[in-house]
Amino acid sequence: MGKIKAGPGVNNATESCLLALGRWSKPRYEAGRMMNLFRAGAAKLSGHLLLLLLGLAVGGCAASSHQRVSHGTLRTLQSRAVEASRLGVNLRDGELDVQVDHTHGGRPTVTVPMKWHHGLPAMDGQINGRPVLLIMDTGSQGCLVLDADTAVRAKVDTLRHSPDRFRLEGAFGSEPAIVGRAREVKVGAWNIQGLPCLIRTHRSLTGGGFFREQITLNIWGMALLHQACTYLTLDHKRDQITFGFDGSYQPQRGNEVWKVPLRFRHGLPYVQIGNGQAKWEALLDSGANSPLEITQEVAQRGNLLASARTLPGQRFGVGVADGDALDTLQRVVVPKLFGLGLTMRDVPAFIVRDEPKVGSGLLAHYRATIDFRRNLLWLEVPRQ
């Protein structure tokens, strides 16, 4: 087994914004219970689509905050609101029951170029014919989350409901959300009709004074992939994202390959990793641009606190912060990290409150494939 030292892109993660897209704080999700999904030759899959949480953490930035979208933007979204029956959804105890159709031209796979957005893998798509950059987030439970400005430009139809009926819940609080449904979503040759989404009512900002900049967050989550795909590949070496629809995943010839068992909890993929002194379960989260995140408890069990360093920065999430110190981040260094194919050395890890994560800062070393059919994570690097 080879060894790899964390490269410059990993060790310098604290010098730029540390972005993490989260999920529900109260897990109520079950894989396979999301929507009615139809395609040629496919059996009917029934269930519910539950709402997605969006959480955000930023470090190493001058300042960061949330700002409610303008009244004009909210009025535009409300002007497109219709009753549930006209939107084609059924409401049952806060859950959405919808029918989604999708086609991919009979292709066994659809591959699109991978772009990078604040250190996160993203891809070009279209919503109702308007171009949109979508973040590929394996740590998000829902189908699609849109910024309000994106939803307005794409003329997304919305559900008429009371302002606080649906909320995005995060690690630091919550914010009201608007339920929408996109008539047509395209990612490469993949065409989805009637995809439900949540529309944010707040903007995420970074910077300060006259130099505040909005961080656009349009997020493609895991719910649809569980229903429609047999595997998802994030090829960081070739900058490609591949959706597999038929057959089992086969590694590329000429690569060194590792198979890592995956455990799906609440529809999200988890792996077991360790440092030789302790083992822990971590969320495989492409929506976090950090290399690694661990809890205080994991840092203690792994004898990692001796390397702890406090860094200036700011963490924020959906909703109002609960009074914790959010203007600093604590980082430790993991001398050796096992469980992800190559043994990694001197990996920086940020201490967080919610749960351990493996972020895009580490996944970027691999061609990484989530195999939904066999519950495996395939990790590949070119054979040397």
pLDDT tens, residue by residue, 71-86? 999 999 999 999 988 8
In the chain, domain spans:
3-11+249-382, 23-230
Average pLDDT, integer, range 329-350: 92
What separation, in Å, do the N-terminal and C-terminal C-alpha atoms of the chain show? 12
- Which tops the pLDDT comparison, 141 or 172? 141
> Number of C-alpha atoms within 13 angstroms, CB side, residue 103?
5
State the Cα–Cα distance between residues 10 and 119, nearest whole angstrom. Answer: 11
Percent with pLDDT over 90 in the chain: 50
- 3-11+249-382 and 23-230 agree in CATH topology: yes
pLDDT tens, residue by residue, 150-186? 999 999 999 988 666 787 755 455 778 899 999 999 9
CATH number belonging to domain 3-11+249-382: 2.40.70.10
Lookup: tokens for 21: 């897209």
pLDDT at res. 111: 97
Q: Mean pLDDT score of the chain, rounded to an integer? A: 79
pLDDT tens, residue by residue, 106-133? 999 999 999 998 888 999 999 999 999 9
pLDDT at res. 266: 87
pLDDT at 261 over 60: yes
pLDDT at 38 over 70: no
Strand partners, 376: 261, 371
pLDDT confidence band for 53 (50 / 70 / 90): very low
pLDDT confidence band for 304 (50 / 70 / 90): very high
Percent with pLDDT over 70 in the chain: 74
Burial classification of residue 162, based on how many CB atoms lie within 10 Å of its CB (0-12 exposed, 13-18 middle, 19 or more buried): exposed
CA distances from 129 to 15, 53, 64, 126, 132 (A): 37, 26, 32, 5, 9
pLDDT at res. 74: 92
Given a contact cutoff of 8 angstroms between Cβ atoms, the answer to whether 182 and 195 are in contact is yes
Strands 3-5 and 343-351, bridge-based pairing: parallel
Annotation: CATH topology of 23-230: Cathepsin D, subunit A; domain 1 (2.40.70)
